[in-house]
Structure 1
């Protein structure tokens, strides 16, 4: 007599197969969620009040000139970045980025140059931050009518330039066609009036002596005017020392807020009158406010940290409309003068005439 196993009903076998398949699929999906993904996730980053202290040290210091303690806050805003050369993000993080309106997901190649290392990115961002601080100081002081001499020193003669063997690294530009070169904007304006290919007379200070040279100009991709084909190092002779101390933040996007902070500290009036204003935007030596990345994340970071007002580059307004957190009023600015007018209007409560991102 032989033993026999009881038959398992077909429906039970199907249920068992389905359960095992479901379990394996779930495990596979769970594993895939932690596989590195070729994306970058941007999140709202921390904010810093440029009128306050960081690590018990003032973020902005002014030496040898009278300064004042404002009552409000000017928040520079940042973007947190997950992914990139330093670390990969998982598909779980990417999925969260897609589902969370405060975040944004981008293919990694659209954010970082191909083959770039984290060290290279940090070097570039640190250099941009230094330039941003210098530009902010210059723009703030000149907006307040301080005189700040500027020097333009030749760094390099580019391959395409016609100035080889004529202009040297270290030459300081003095005049072009007899007109003094006192700012970089002056140089660009003078060259914009020259037809590419036309020769110009350039006066330079070389090893302590004036030298006059003739340079045949070249064309430019971004202008109909002429260019010299030189890289220029811009130096400033500030009338007093302005220091900006901030770590772990790079890039140029805090320039406008730095400039406003310097202006607020140098003016006796309490322009903010206790208001909390956040903002972002690059600044050049002419006081022009330029666009930045991650504006939507910066809006949410500002609202999270108590701001009721946000100063945004007018060129970023198309990204702002429809994505502003409730309770945050976004003002569009094109220049440092616009931003300073907005700060004064906010402090006085007279904001009806300010331009909004709408």
Structure 2
């Protein structure tokens, strides 16, 4: 066999072997790609994303799009060839598997956690939006979860309203832990509660719950330190003056909070927030309207621009990362609160785009 032919054959076989190895060798990485983007002012799967009843609403124009990221599933084993391609591709990001699924989290656990975060983000979006419009919202501290085999199991229940702990009125979920940890493990804590059923019945009737109970729980030592605990997670429940429903399935996580809140504000405001412009964005939001960072910002800006977005509301903490690779034609707008976002939308509507707070790589 001629030397040149032999060399070409050997090279071909080596290439085939490398390609096969790239397919067969599994690596501990996962991939993130741009996901769907949905206009919170519009419809999804044939029904309005935001449905408000019991209060006057107004026509809206333009877009306030929430953005998402697609990720490979927890049990998907990426091969070396896919990882290398992902590193090279502009619109993909390859990250260590543990970044997306820490502590061996399963697909089912991740889905459940994302669903819970998504539900909480909707509630916070409603609260933040109504506060922005100076519409009163009633809030109360509740038992959010009760840990299995904890001192509170069978005594306190999810949905119980916590009025006070040892006679001290609680106003925030953190107050509960602070009051419990004043005790030593083995001491009793007395909770004054409105049982969940009573609270739900009163809310349905539009009345204030008056039936309370005192529940005594004996504390135990926390597994990680010497703190006294009772095995509950306190949370916040809200009573809204009218009905706000967010209809969006197959989405998880907390990052749509800001855009949901802005969509609600727009529908309840005579002034058209966007002025017909295509605005997208992302960011968690808390009850006080503070905007928090999210993951996959680069994928979200790409996905938004590909759908036609001209402006992207970007959490301050994500600005530096997002500014490293801004899609052509997209303006990043830095926001820290819902107030910032509303002010920026006013500038966009008025054509004062030079006054927008911008993101930089610093």
Is TM (by shorter chain) over 0.5? Answer: yes
Partner SS state of residue 242, structure 1: strand
Structure 1 residue 147: Cα displacement = 1.5
TM-score, length of structure 2 as denominator length: 0.81
The CA distance in 1 between the partners of 2:310 and 2:35, in whole Å, is 17
CA-based RMSD of the aligned residues comes to 3.3
Partner of 1:4: none
Structure 1 residue 194: Cα displacement = 11
Partner of 1:73: 63
Structure 1 residue 238: Cα displacement = 1.3
Structure having the higher Rg: 1
Structure 1 residue 301: Cα displacement = 1.0
Contact 1:197 1:218 in 2 (8 A): no
Contact 1:197 1:219 in 2 (8 A): no
- Aligned in 2, Cα 1:111/1:195: closer, same or farther, shift over 3 Å? closer
The CA distance in 2 between the partners of 1:103 and 1:201, in whole Å, is 53
Partner of 1:329: 331
Partner of 1:301: 303
1:345 to 321, 344, 347: 347
- Aligned in 2, Cα 1:229/1:84: closer, same or farther, shift over 3 Å? same
Partner of 1:223: none
Count of matched residue pairs: 338
The CA distance in 2 between the partners of 1:219 and 1:343, in whole Å, is 50
Write the deviation string for residues 198-246 of structure 1: whole angstroms up to 9, x where unpaired.
Answer: 99986433586435679999999xxxxx998631243221111111111
Structure 1 residue 152: Cα displacement = 2.1
Partner SS state of residue 80, structure 1: strand
Structure 1 residue 338: Cα displacement = 1.5
Write the deviation string for residues 178-197 of structure 1: whole angstroms up to 9, x where unpaired.
Answer: 77545xxx453797799955
2:174 to 182, 188, 197: 188
Partner SS state of residue 33, structure 1: helix
- Aligned in 2, Cα 1:255/1:217: closer, same or farther, shift over 3 Å? farther
Structure 1 residue 173: Cα displacement = 1.5
- Aligned in 2, Cα 1:290/1:274: closer, same or farther, shift over 3 Å? same
- Aligned in 2, Cα 1:214/1:124: closer, same or farther, shift over 3 Å? closer
Query: What are structure 2's unaligned runs of at least 5 residues?
Result: 199-210, 223-227
1:152 and 2:141 correspond: yes
1:94 and 2:86 correspond: no
1:258 to 257, 260, 263: 260
Alignment of 1:29-108 (within 5 A): 29-35=18-24, 36-81=26-71, 83-108=72-97
1:280 and 2:287 correspond: no
Which stretch has the larger CA shift, 63-72 or 200-209? 200-209
Structure 1 residue 280: Cα displacement = 0.4
Contact 2:147 2:153 in 1 (8 A): no
Contact 1:39 1:84 in 2 (8 A): no
TM-score, length of structure 1 as denominator length: 0.82
1:168 and 2:170 correspond: no
Contact 2:323 2:332 in 1 (8 A): no
Query: What are structure 1's unaligned runs of at least 5 residues?
Result: 1-7, 221-225
Write the deviation string for residues 301-348 of structure 1: whole angstroms up to 9, x where unpaired.
Answer: 111111111111111122123221222111111112221222222112
Partner of 1:22: 11
The CA distance in 2 between the partners of 1:169 and 1:86, in whole Å, is 34
Write the deviation string for residues 272-294 of structure 1: whole angstroms up to 9, x where unpaired.
Answer: 11111110011122212111100
1:120 and 2:109 correspond: yes
- Aligned in 2, Cα 1:55/1:322: closer, same or farther, shift over 3 Å? same
Contact 2:173 2:236 in 1 (8 A): no
